[in-house]
């Protein structure tokens, strides 16, 4: 059985779809699945045991060039566009969750989809995360491509058995008889005075589950591209969305596009230190970067996006250039993504480091309701500036 850290998507390439008109049948829809990942093809397009990280041979085309023309959308609208396009193209794609139907979801990602596709493909469920997540696993086993929405990511802890013992492992424990092409998505992270139970970051909970892939969106552009790629994947994918990023606005291309699920994004090239981050912390890092530049530092900022597996090709090339690493995350410090990433960097790039790896994480405490205390538990730009100054001494 492949280890959790050896996830790698290798779906066979096919001819890209043109326009919104989809195949006439579910089998035809599946026959044109496209997953433009950096991996080479493998028999069956399934998870394969390989290196501990995803790798890629060639640099991707510039995202900035592809966004030169297009239309402006908010992040939640970009997610909805991606989901709607996949539902139009493939009749096996469906949505389960609480209030995802005519209410449109807790953050309106599914707004209008019930009117377009009907109540059976956009299915309102009872408040029973374990039940409808299990139903999604079963639907995936029978040939559908369910998208499960957690009204809040913290609620999905009620479905942890279905996600870990079923969703992540059934392909292996069935001897490859079943595929689970399932997407689990929803809002998470520290919002604004949402309290401890609504401020969960479940990356650390899910990262050790074998067979599960994890990505985190941070812009409207990558939100839509990752949504579409996750739906097309033959693997179960958890898509993390931050509750404070839904109203970010950005211009995205009018033409169809997808993003690689295993690829990091170079946000800002630099020479002095590699800063690795994801989700909301991307914006705290970029705010700190302005101060650092004024102080004479040249940080390189990478949005890792793929939380499992890590894109150590991009990360490694940066470390070989800067020789210093700072990890900034909103996840908890103990057992978080930063801890796993630091371990992977030490295992693979120890000889290139000129300073100890630093990791800034949230405090290991329940998130307070009081705004000042809430801010104190999360990494702030001033802490990032101070950490870079320490590393570069």
Rounded distance between C-alpha atoms, residue 19 and residue 304, angstroms: 31
How do the residues of the chain divide into helix, strand and coil, expressed in percent and rounded to 5? Answer: 35, 20, 45
Q: Is the dihedral of CA 101, 106, 109, 111 positive or negative?
A: positive
Residue 49 phi/psi, 5° resolution? Answer: -80, 125
- In terms of Cα–Cα distance, which of 299, 300, 211 is closest to 264? 300
Residues 228 and 86: beta-carbon distance below 8 Å: yes
| C-alpha neighbours within 13 Å on the C-beta side of residue 190 | 25
- Of 129, 241, 265, 300, the active-site residue reads 129
SS3 state of residue 266 = strand
Give the H/E segment covering residue 215: strand 213-216
Q: Is 129 a catalytic residue?
A: yes
Residue 228 phi/psi, 5° resolution? Answer: -65, -40
Peptide bond into 309 cis (omega under 30): yes
- In terms of Cα–Cα distance, which of 367, 366, 371, 347 is closest to 357? 347
26-30, long-range: CB < 8 A, 24+ apart: 26/90, 26/91, 26/92, 26/143, 29/89, 29/90, 29/91, 29/92, 30/90, 30/92, 30/143
Eight-state DSSP code of residue 370? S
Q: Are strands 237-242 and 306-308 parallel, antiparallel or unpaired?
A: unpaired
Q: Which residues, including other chains, have CB under 8 Å from residue 253's CB and lie 6 or more apart?
A: 66, 67, 69, 70
- In terms of Cα–Cα distance, which of 318, 357, 361, 316 is closest to 337? 361
Q: Is 272 a catalytic residue?
A: no
Give the H/E segment covering residue 170: helix 170-173
Tokens of 316: 């490694």
Catalytic residue list: 129, 198
């Amino acid at each position: 059985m492949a280890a959790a850290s050896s996830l790698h998507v290798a779906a066979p390439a096919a001819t890209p779809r043109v326009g919104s008109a989809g195949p006439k049948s579910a089998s035809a829809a599946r026959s044109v699945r496209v997953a433009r990942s950096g991996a080479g093809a493998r028999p069956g397009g399934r998870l394969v045991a390989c290196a501990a990280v995803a790798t890629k041979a060639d640099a991707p085309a510039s995202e900035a060039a592809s966004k030169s023309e297009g239309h402006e959308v908010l992040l939640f609208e970009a997610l909805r566009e991606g989901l709607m396009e996949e539902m139009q193209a493939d009749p096996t794609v469906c949505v389960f969750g609480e209030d995802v139907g005519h209410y449109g979801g807790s953050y309106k990602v599914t707004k209008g989809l019930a009117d377009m596709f009907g109540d059976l493909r956009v299915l309102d469920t009872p408040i029973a995360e374990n039940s409808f997540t299990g139903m999604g696993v079963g639907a995936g086993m029978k040939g559908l491509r369910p998208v499960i929405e957690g009204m809040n990511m913290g609620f999905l802890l009620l479905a942890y058995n279905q996600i870990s013992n079923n969703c992540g492992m059934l392909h292996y424990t069935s001897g490859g008889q079943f595929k689970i092409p399932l997407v689990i998505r929803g809002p998470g992270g520290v919002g604004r005075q949402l309290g401890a139970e609504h401020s969960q970051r479940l990356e650390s909970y899910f990262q050790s589950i074998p067979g599960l892939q994890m990505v985190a969106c941070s812009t409207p552009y990558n939100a839509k591209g990752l949504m579409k790629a996750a739906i097309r994947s033959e693997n179960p994918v958890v898509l993390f969305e931050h509750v404070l990023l839904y109203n970010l606005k950005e211009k995205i291309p009018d033409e169809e596009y997808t993003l690689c699920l295993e690829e990091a994004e170079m946000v800002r090239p630099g020479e002095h230190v590699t800063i690795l981050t994801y989700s909301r912390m991307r914006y705290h890092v970029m705010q700190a970067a302005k101060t650092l530049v004024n102080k004479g530092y040249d940080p390189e900022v990478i949005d890792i996006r793929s939380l499992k597996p890590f894109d150590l090709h991009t990360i490694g090339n940066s470390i070989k250039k800067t020789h210093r690493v700072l990890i900034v995350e909103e996840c908890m410090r103990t057992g978080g993504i930063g801890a796993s990433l630091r371990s992977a960097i030490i295992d693979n790039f120890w000889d290139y480091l000129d300073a100890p790896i630093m990791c800034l994480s949230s405090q290991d405490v329940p998130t307070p309701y009081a705004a000042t205390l809430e801010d104190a538990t999360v990494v702030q730009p001033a802490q990032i500036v101070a950490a870079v100054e320490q590393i570069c001494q």
